[in-house]
Chain A
Amino acid sequence: EAGVAQSPRYKIIEKRQSVAFWCNPISGHATLYWYQQILGQGPKLLIQFQNNGVVDDSQLPKDRFSAERLKGVDSTLKIQPAKLEDSAVYLCASSFDLSSGYTFGSGTRLTVV
């Protein structure tokens, strides 16, 4: 079974620039999540999709972050404009059902300078 694919692995941008991350979940996993993990902290949910609909985006800073999941498969997360405090690892995960937990992708490490 192929895992969750994410790209890019690393990204360095200047503040106020924009950036986009891509995720391809495990085939057949209807639920897709984007988490933000700041160094030394646990992952924090940004947005959850069920197929191509948003289930929970209550912790997404909507003034600068946006996400979409077209056709219920791939997803992109965008930040515009970026702030220094957005420096973190952005993790994509997918699940078939919660009883089996999530599978995480390798993550994108974002550094905003």
Chain B
Amino acid sequence: QKEVEQNSGPLSVPEGAIASLNCTYSDRGSQSFFWYRQYSGKSPELIMFIYSNGDKEDGRFTAQLNKASQYVSLLIRDSQPSDSATYLCAVPASRGNNRLAFGKGNQVVVIP
């Protein structure tokens, strides 16, 4: 079983709509979760970090964590063409090693 999985295909959303991305993880003991945005041809950049159960909001981005079901979501409200990118979910790969395991990413395309 992969440490973190992002299984949905490219997501097309009209401008102004909500984009919703999901990520599941295998280690029930995982404590922190990260969302990175990666524009085509660029390196990943950290956009959200969530530690506790529930929601965390930062501008138009909301991360939702459900530890019981072992998934973390990212919502992008009022989607803009500049949000068109690949979104990578990452979790600590193992305790004490201070490193992240990444999902394969979900591509989001915002249609003007």
Number of interface residues of B (CB under 8 A): 24
**B 16-43 to A, binary, CB cutoff 8 A, 1 in contact else 0:** 0000000000000000101010000011
30 A–B pairs (Cβ distance < 8 Å), ordered by A: A31-B99, A33-B99, A40-B104, A41-B104, A41-B105, A42-B6, A42-B104, A42-B105, A43-B44, A43-B88, A45-B99, A45-B100, A45-B101, A48-B97, A48-B98, A48-B99, A50-B98, A56-B97, A98-B92, A99-B32, A100-B49, A101-B36, A101-B90, A101-B100, A102-B46, A102-B100, A103-B46, A104-B43, A104-B44, A105-B43
Interface size for chain A: under 10, 10 to 19, 20 to 34, or 35 or more residues?
A: 20 to 34
Complex contacts, A1 vs chain B, CB 8 Å = none
Asked if A55 is an interface residue, CB under 8 A from chain B, the answer is yes
B42, B46, B100, B101: residue with the most chain A Cβ atoms closer than 10 Å: B100
List B residues at the A interface (Cβ < 8 Å).
Answer: 6, 32, 34, 36, 42-46, 49, 51, 88, 90, 92-93, 97-105
Asked if A24 is an interface residue, CB under 8 A from chain B, the answer is no
Q: A40 to B105, alpha carbons, bound, how many Å?
A: 8
Complex contacts, A85 vs chain B, CB 8 Å = none
B contact face: mostly helix, strand, loop, or mixed: loop
A43, A55, A100, A102: residue with the most chain B Cβ atoms closer than 10 Å: A43
